[in-house]
Structure 1
Amino acid sequence: MPAEPVPTGDRPEWRGHAVLQVPVPPLEPFVLARTRHYDLDYVSADPAFTHAHVTALGPFLDLTDQTVEALGQVGEIASGTAPFDFTLDTVDTFPNGIVHLLPAPSAPFAQLTAQLADAFPQCPPYAGRFAAVVPHLTLDALGADVSEASTRALVAPWLPARCRAERLDLAWYEPGRCRVLHSWRLGG
């Protein structure tokens, strides 16, 4: 599913938004298929772009605010974060209807988000819309033909997904222009 758009201005280069995200390649076939189902404009042609991800911080800085210094700060945080293993197996649904997978353990994601949010207080997680930030991988949204049970059945062939967080990507989300802007290896 495409990321929810965040209004950032009227200039053409600001029609999208940036997200710092941890790619989850084992779930890419499933998430890519769901993205294709909902909106082809959010299917990226960039081979580095991973539709399946756990958001570390989003929305992130607008394009004009992504300075060498800011990107250097992200790089330092990524270098100081050791790669970590996690498993995705628990399907859950948020009150707003987003069906998702919960990573176990979730603490490394929460710590990464906290470090990034501390470094960039002008970019609160999810624009500050939620009191608690829950690390997750979005699978689908409830609807007439989508339930938590139907999503669990569809994603079952990919679960449990044993994964390793090895990099942090700065991804740009914009219809027809989704791509990776920068990427950092965790642990340097």
Structure 2
Amino acid sequence: MAHTVIQVPVPELESITQRLERPPVCPHITLLGPFVDRRDVNEDLVDTLRALLAQVRPFDFMLSAVGRFGSEVTYLAPEPADPFIRLTNMLAAAFPKWPPYGGAFEEIIPHLSIGAALTSAEEEAVRGPLPISSTADEVTLTWWSEDAAEELARFPLHL
């Protein structure tokens, strides 16, 4: 199902995920999603997000651990996780109609989804270059459909 997501893009991972049979369209760590319907994205919403995110400074993180949700979905866990959890809680408080992960889970586990049912070769391709250093220096509001992602708004984090 298509939906919007507030996310931290992780472009450093694109060269790695392209080796997968079904690479993620845009490697990212979700902060809040699913979020509003695309037709509800307007100037007021973008301004509200911009004001909220103006108080957030960029932060560094590492992707070094591979995890799984159940037996299927493989993900990379960012360390430290706390800045992502704080951002998610801040956004969820500002938009209470849109709980993290649609309210499906109580615990917020920041993660970068890699894929489902990875082969051992694919998992090794992901593990090989770890750890990967990155900086969360922007947040995007992105429209996701089954096979595409479209950035609707970009929010640089301020120094």
Question: Could you tell me the TM-score, scaled by structure 2's length?
Answer: 0.89
104-113 or 170-179: bigger deviation: 170-179
Query: In the alignment, what sits opposite 2:119?
Result: 146
Residues in 2 aligned to 1:122 and 1:32: alpha-carbon distance in whole angstroms: 35
Deviations 1:12-32 (A, max 9, x none): xxxx21111101111112234
**RMSD value, Cα:** 2.0
Question: Could you tell me the TM-score, scaled by structure 1's length?
Answer: 0.77
Unmatched tracts of structure 1, length 5 or more = 6-15, 44-50
Q: CA separation of 1:176/1:162 partners in 2, compared to 1, >3 Å: closer, same or farther?
A: closer
Q: CA separation of 1:121/1:55 partners in 2, compared to 1, >3 Å: closer, same or farther?
A: same
Query: In the alignment, what sits opposite 1:81?
Result: 56
Q: Which amino acid aligns with 1:160?
A: P
1:24 to 4, 7, 10: 10
Q: CA separation of 1:97/1:185 partners in 2, compared to 1, >3 Å: closer, same or farther?
A: same
Q: CA deviation at 1:176?
A: 5.6
Q: Percent identity?
A: 35
Query: In the alignment, what sits opposite 2:134?
Result: 163
Deviations 1:41-96 (A, max 9, x none): x85xxxxxxx1110011111112222322211111122111000000000111126
- 8 Å CA contact 1:32–1:52 kept in 2: the answer is no
Query: In the alignment, what sits opposite 1:128?
Result: 103
Write 1 or 2 for the structure with the bigger share of strand. 2
Q: CA deviation at 1:139?
A: 1.2
Q: CA separation of 1:157/1:93 partners in 2, compared to 1, >3 Å: closer, same or farther?
A: same
Kindly report which structure 2 residues correspond to 1:1-188, keeping only aligned pairs within 5 A, or say none.
5=1, 16-34=2-20, 37-38=21-22, 43=25, 51-95=26-70, 97-142=72-117, 146=119, 150-175=121-146, 177-187=148-158
The residue matched to 1:127 in structure 2 has which SS?
Answer: helix
Residues in 1 aligned to 2:115 and 2:144: alpha-carbon distance in whole angstroms: 17
Q: CA separation of 1:32/1:17 partners in 2, compared to 1, >3 Å: closer, same or farther?
A: farther
- 8 Å CA contact 1:140–1:151 kept in 2: the answer is no
Q: CA deviation at 1:177?
A: 4.9
Q: How many residues align?
A: 159
Q: CA separation of 1:132/1:94 partners in 2, compared to 1, >3 Å: closer, same or farther?
A: same
Deviations 1:100-137 (A, max 9, x none): 11100000000111111111111111111111120001
Unmatched tracts of structure 2, length 5 or more = none
Write 1 or 2 for the structure with the bigger share of helix. 1
